[in-house]
Every structure is written in C-alpha cells, then in structure tokens.
Amino acid sequence: MKILVVGDVIGKPGREAVKEVLPRLRDEYGITLAIANGENAAGGIGLTPGTAQELFDSGIDVITTGNHVWAHHEVIPYLDSAAAVIRPLNYPPMDPGRGYWIKDNIMVVNIIGRTFVGDFDCPFRAMDKLLGELSRKPAVIIVDFHAEATSEKVAMGRYLDGRVTAVLGTHTHIGTIDACILPKGTAYVTDIGMVGPINSVIGVAVTDVIDRFLTQIPKRFSVPKGQVSFDAIVVESTDDSGKAIDIKRVRQVVD
C-alpha cells in the first residue's frame, strides 16, 4: 500500500493547494491513505472544525497536529468526536482527544518532541507504552513526529526502526533531503516540509517575522498570498509485514 503524508498545511493558501493537488496525487500514486499535519491550517496557527472539514473534503483521511493544537478553543470538543483528528500522544493523558487512529490494518500516531518545543511526556517512552499495550497491533504504523531538533528526530527514527513503518518529521516547515529506509525497514525523513507560501518565512509574512526579530515585540503573524509549495512524502509498504519498501519526496508549486 502507499501512504501519502502531507507537511504542515499553512492557512487558506495551504488548504487551497491541498484541494487542488491532492486528488491528482491520489490518482497518480494510487494512494491508500492520505495524512496531513493540520496544526497551522486555521489562519496559520491551530485548527478549527471548519478547516479540518475542508481538508477532509479535499481528500485527506487523517489529520495530525502539534504544539498549536489548542490555539482555537472550538477544536477541543471536536478532538473527542469521531473525526479522524489526533493530537500528540505524549500530552498529559487527561487531555481531550487521542494520540493515535486505527482503521483496518493501518495506525497513524502523532507524537511531539521536547527539545526547543516544550515540556511534554517523553515521546520515546510514550511510543514504547503504546506499542506494548495494543491488543492488536496493525501491520502498517505511520508516526508523525512533530519536533524541532534534528537530533531528536533522527534518534526517534533509529529508536523505532523495525517497529513501525515510517517516522516522518513535521514542525520546522523546511523539507530535508534525508528521506531513506533505515536498516530494519522503517521509512524516515527529518522533516516533510509544508504546504504554504513560498515567499514567506516558513509560511509567515516576511515583514512580520523580521519585525519580530528586530524588535522582540510579539505580534500576530499573517499568512501571505502567492505561489505555494506543496511538500509531501509517499511511503510504500507491504500489507502484511508493514515494512517500508520505498519512500519518495513529492514537491509541487501551486500558483
């Protein structure tokens, strides 16, 4: 089977790019399941039920999130609904929502890093606990590791090598060139990238970010218009063993 995982979707430009590109990619690659990180889908920060539904209507099957998942309060009860939206597994266990999604023989897991991101439960131990507790472990397991430090992401890939199908990094919005299959059969990339404006600073208006660096005064960031980079990864795996047999980077520019 082939799984498409889309990098962080940034605001309305990102959502519109997904709507335009995704149906074509599903046909071209014969995609079984499409996943997108949606934690920046609503105006560049957070997710709402409406923006989540827009992604689902465009052909996304599962939405992962990250440190901005709580930015819009209306999403909190939505996380406890039947919608295929997950938040990082290693948030406190009493928090709304769930950290993984299962359908048939596929599981999607969302975890968040701690280095330069925040105080969370250990993502390594959280994955050990989940994999150890499942009564029926699906063969295909896709992990969205939402983390900042490249070292933490690489370490997670190596830690889970052979135990999951793929460990794919999100959060930094800059696609990396290290897509590979690790020695024990796990597909890996440090960061998928983003679906967001090219003329920006990781999806945010250039002047907003430069002003912040120059003045250190907090301000609300905006998402600019213009050409959008659509960054994604396609992972192919066997249905029975769940081992990855191919990983491809997909990048398209949307006018």
Q: Annotated active-site positions, please? A: 68
Cβ(199)–Cβ(206) under 8 Å?
yes
Residue 97 — left, alpha, or beta (φ > 0 → left; ψ -120 to 50 → alpha)?
left
Rounded Cα distance between 233 and 251, Å, is: 9
Structural contact between residues 236 and 32, judged by C-beta atoms closer than 8 angstroms: no
Tell me, rounded to whole angstroms, the distance of Cα 75 from its chain centroid: 17
**Beta strands 187-189 and 180-181, pairing class:** antiparallel
Contact indicator for 44, 194 with CB cutoff of 8 Å: no
Which residue, among 85, 76, 27, 30, has the nearest Cα to 54 in the 3D structure?
85
